[in-house]
């Protein structure tokens, strides 16, 4: 797989659990930090697999790096003109709570509200994958 081509890049936030994960693949990069990707989330018995659009990836990467370094705070990624989001928040015990609210607007509206927990040590590989796809930092 050619990792220099964002359309072929695929990575996962590890959660130390088979039934909880966040996976991103098939990136299409746009101007000003906007992008689309195939988003796959499993949170125990619930999940979603669809193409999703997000904005402000640089802000998200900065937020998640700060959160990883200081062990406080949160990082949120969303699309500017829609309500969906994915949020990472670190707890005082070093756990990361990943939550979100995702929508599909169509004749028959669908939505997924989810939350799962992982360990802070899972953030660093996720951050490095984000940086590689979006070519920021080291």
Report pLDDT for 33: 85
Report pLDDT for 4: 62
Domains belonging to the chain, first-starting first, are 6-134 (2.30.31)
Q: What is the mean pLDDT of each run of 10 residues along the chain (138 residues)?
A: 66 86 93 91 92 93 95 94 92 94 88 93 93 78
Q: Which long-range CB contacts under 8 A does 108-112 form with residues at least 24 apart? A: 112/41, 112/46, 112/47, 112/48
Six-digit token pair at 11? 């990575």
Report pLDDT for 2: 47
Q: Which of 78, 81, 20 is nearest to 46 (CA)?
A: 20
Report pLDDT for 18: 82
Q: What are phi and psi of 72, to 5 degrees?
A: -145, 160
Report pLDDT for 50: 93
């Amino acid at each position: 797989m050619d990792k220099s081509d964002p359309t072929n890049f695929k990575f996962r936030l590890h959660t130390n659990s088979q039934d909880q994960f966040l996976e991103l693949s098939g990136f299409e990069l746009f101007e000003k930090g906007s992008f689309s990707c195939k988003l796959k989330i499993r949170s125990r018995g619930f999940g979603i697999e669809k193409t999703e659009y997000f904005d402000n990836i640089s802000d998200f990467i900065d937020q998640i790096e700060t959160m990883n370094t200081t062990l406080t705070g949160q990082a949120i990624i969303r699309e500017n003109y829609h309500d969906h989001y994915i949020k990472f928040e670190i707890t005082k015990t070093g756990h990361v709570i990943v939550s979100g609210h995702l929508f599909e607007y169509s004749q028959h509206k669908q939505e997924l509200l989810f939350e799962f927990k992982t360990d802070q040590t899972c953030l660093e590989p996720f951050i490095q994958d984000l940086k590689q796809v979006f070519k920021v930092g080291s």
